[in-house]
Amino acid sequence: MLDNRLVKLAENLLSHSVQLGEKESLLIEVRGEGHALAKELVKQAYAKGAYPFVRIIDPTIQRELMMGASEERAAHLMKWEEPMYKDLDTYIVINGPVNDSEMADVPVERRRAHQKVMQELNDFLVSNVRWTLLNYPTAAMAQSANMSTEAFEDFYFDVCSVDYKKMHEAFLPLKDLMDRTDKVRLVGQGTDLRFSIKDIPNVICSGLRNIPDGEIFTAPVRDSVNGTITFNTATSYMGTKFENVRLTFANGKIVEATSNNTEKLNQIFDTDEGARYIGEFAIGVHPYILHPMNDILFDEKIAGSFHFTPGRAYENADNGNRSQIHWDMVNIQRPEYGGGEIWFDDVLIRKDGLFVLPELQGLNPESLKG
């Protein structure tokens, strides 16, 4: 699949996303497939006078390692990895899944033990290293999207090559509005939820950290969330796929949670105290991503969607919630998914997936495609 589109993607990653400079270190981490892109990144990094390094992770071996994970083992891993990560300038993760469910049978307590120890290092990376995460188009992803491999590759490059500079400019009026907003209300089938975002920063995502990108996120005031939300998009976490997730909140806390796997859902929410509170609220706008494919990097950017995230808040949009988990759950509000509305301070801003205020209509799909 090494063609001009892949070369251009590598150029965009190094020049726009991580902005790699001369004599800077770059770690390229390949999780599964994606070797062709990694090779092209190495070639272009050398051309820039930088120092590329590559780490290959085989998901089947990673599963075996996780089956015996413990806090003690994670502490040893932390000791080895911390000097490497803290010496990085830039970091690109290529996620090329062959089997999305490879980790499905790893016990939850094993994953918790690993995450508990590694969280500090993960937080350091997010806050101190220029990083980008992208998914590589694989047959498994094409299957999840119900597409042929060739059709999915074409879709993938349309998604990744959208005009992110134009998207950023279109986001600015929404950012200004969110800066001034106190009360948010989400309405839809099985959903009537209210919360405040007053004085919480909001962040435009337009191609710097994720490829694909296309969202603006903030966080609710931690104890302000009340009501019920039903997610019409499947979501995977810890190797398990959840459908028909329905959450009820009282003063910020999830007091009732049901799904097709209610027992495991609640096991995850019982990871720690912060897991039952929300760490992120975001609005998705990517004009070429219209349908879910059980891949959160794509699904959270769906045009006409929002996502609501139990668990840890990001430091740059912080409501103080801390947790080992950060679980983006997506609801699509376009008419074919049941419709819905977003209200800011009792003013309707988006209906059935389309922004209705004139200053926000540049974020609607036809505007972003043009």
Contacts of 340 (CB under 8 A, 6+ apart): 186, 187, 188, 189, 191, 331, 333, 351, 352, 353
Question: pLDDT 10s per residue in the chain (370 long)?
Answer: 458 889 989 998 998 889 999 999 999 999 999 999 999 999 999 999 999 999 999 999 999 999 999 999 999 999 999 999 999 999 999 999 888 788 889 998 898 899 889 988 988 888 889 999 998 999 988 988 889 999 999 999 888 888 888 999 999 999 999 999 999 999 999 999 999 999 999 999 998 778 889 999 999 999 999 999 999 999 988 878 999 999 999 999 999 999 999 999 999 999 999 999 999 999 999 999 999 988 898 999 999 999 999 999 998 999 999 999 999 999 999 999 999 999 999 999 999 999 999 999 999 999 998 6
Per-residue pLDDT, 370: 66
pTM of the model: 0.78
Residue with tokens 């995850």: 268
Separation CA 289–CA 215 (nearest Å): 12
Domain spanning 4-161 has what CATH number? 3.40.1830.10
Per-residue pLDDT, 357: 98
- Which of 367, 363, 339, 364 is CA-nearest to residue 352? 339
Per-residue pLDDT, 294: 83
Q: Please, are residues 48 and 22 in contact by the beta-carbon 8 Å criterion?
A: yes
Per-residue pLDDT, 35: 95
Separation CA 134–CA 151 (nearest Å): 18
Separation CA 346–CA 95 (nearest Å): 41
Separation CA 65–CA 62 (nearest Å): 5
- Which of 235, 178, 168 is CA-nearest to residue 201? 178
Amino acid identity of 267? Q
Amino acid identity of 110? R
**Sign of torsion, CA 265 268 269 275?**
negative
Q: Give the residue extent of every domain in the chain.
A: 4-161, 164-367
**Sign of torsion, CA 65 66 72 74?**
positive
Separation CA 106–CA 98 (nearest Å): 17
Contacts of 346 (CB under 8 A, 6+ apart): 183, 185
CA 7 to mean position of chain CA atoms: 24
Planar angle of CA 233, 127, 219, nearest 5 degrees:
45
